[in-house]
Structure 1
Amino acid sequence: MKHLSIFIVAITITFIGCKDGDKNSSSEGAPSGSNNTVPAISISVIKSFPHDTSSFTQGLAIYKGEMYEGTGGAAYDVVGSKFSKLMKVDLQTGKPKTSVDIDPKYFGEGITILNDTVYQLTWREHKVFAYTLPDFKKVKEFDINTEGWGITTNGKELIVSDGSSNLYFYDPATFRLLHSQSVTQNGELSYNLNELEYIDGFVYANQWQQPYILKIDPNSGQISGRIDVSQIWNRVQTLDPQADVPNGIAYDAETKKVYITGKKWPELYEVQLGR
Structure 2
Amino acid sequence: MKKLSILFYFLAILLTTISCADAYKFSIEKPEKATLNQTITLKMVEKEGKEIEKVQFYVNGKEVSSNGNTLTLNTNDLGVGKHAINGLAFFDGKTKKKNAFLEVFADTKPDFYKYKIVNEYPHDTKAYTQGLEYYRGYLYETTGRRGQSSLRKIEIKTGKVLKKIDLDNQYFGEGMTIVGDKIIWLTWQAKKGFVLDLETFKKEKEFSYNKSEEGWGLTQNKSELIKSDGTNKIWFLDKKTLKEKYFIQAYAHDRALTQLNELEFINGKLFANYYQKPIIAIINPKTGVVEGLINLKGLEAEMKKTQKLVANDEVLNGIAFDAENNRLFVTGKNWGKLFEIELIKQ
TM-score by length of 2: 0.65
The letter for the 2-side match of 1:251 is F
Mapped to 1, the partners of 2:115 and 2:197 lie a distance apart of 34
Query: What is the match of residue 237 of structure 1?
Result: 304
Q: Is the 8 A contact 1:197 1:204 kept in 2?
A: yes
2:235 to 168, 176, 185: 168
1:164-219: per-residue Cα shift (whole Å, max 9, x none)?
00100001221111210011011531111010000000000000011100000000
Runs ≥4 residues deviating over 2 A: none
Equivalences for residues 91-170 of structure 1 within 5 A: 91-144=156-209, 145-170=212-237
Q: What are the ranges of 5 or more consecutive residues in structure 1 without an aligned counterpart?
A: 1-35, 76-82
The letter for the 2-side match of 1:207 is Y
Query: What is the match of residue 18 of structure 2?
Result: none
1:252 to 313, 319, 322: 322
Aligned residue pairs: how many? 233
2:119 aligned with 1:54: no
Q: What are the ranges of 5 or more consecutive residues in structure 2 without an aligned counterpart?
A: 1-107
Query: What is the match of residue 272 of structure 1?
Result: 342
Match of 2:305, SS? helix
2:138 aligned with 1:66: yes
Mapped to 1, the partners of 2:181 and 2:222 lie a distance apart of 12
Query: What is the match of residue 222 of structure 1?
Result: 289
The letter for the 1-side match of 2:268 is G
1:69-112: per-residue Cα shift (whole Å, max 9, x none)?
0000214xxxxxxx100000111121210001100000000111
Which of the pair has more CA radius of gyration? 2
2:249 aligned with 1:182: yes
Mapped to 2, the partners of 1:169 and 1:181 lie a distance apart of 8
The letter for the 2-side match of 1:213 is I
2:333 to 256, 263, 270: 263
Higher helix share: 2
Mapped to 2, the partners of 1:199 and 1:274 lie a distance apart of 16
Q: Is the 8 A contact 2:233 2:249 kept in 1?
A: yes
Query: What is the match of residue 39 of structure 1?
Result: 111
Q: Is the 8 A contact 1:114 1:155 kept in 2?
A: no
What percentage of aligned pairs have identical amino acids?
38
The letter for the 2-side match of 1:174 is T
Q: Following TM superposition, by how much is the alpha carbon of 1:37 offset from its aligned partner in structure 2, in angstroms?
A: 3.7
Mapped to 2, the partners of 1:64 and 1:209 lie a distance apart of 30
1:116-166: per-residue Cα shift (whole Å, max 9, x none)?
211111011111111112111211100014211101001221100011001
Match of 2:291, SS? strand
Greater RCO structure (CA 8 Å; 6+ sep): 1
Higher strand share: 2
Please tell me the root mean square deviation across aligned C-alpha atoms, in Å.
1.3
TM-score by length of 1: 0.82
The letter for the 2-side match of 1:61 is E
Q: Following TM superposition, by how much is the alpha carbon of 1:54 offset from its aligned partner in structure 2, in angstroms?
A: 0.5
Q: Following TM superposition, by how much is the alpha carbon of 1:242 offset from its aligned partner in structure 2, in angstroms?
A: 3.0
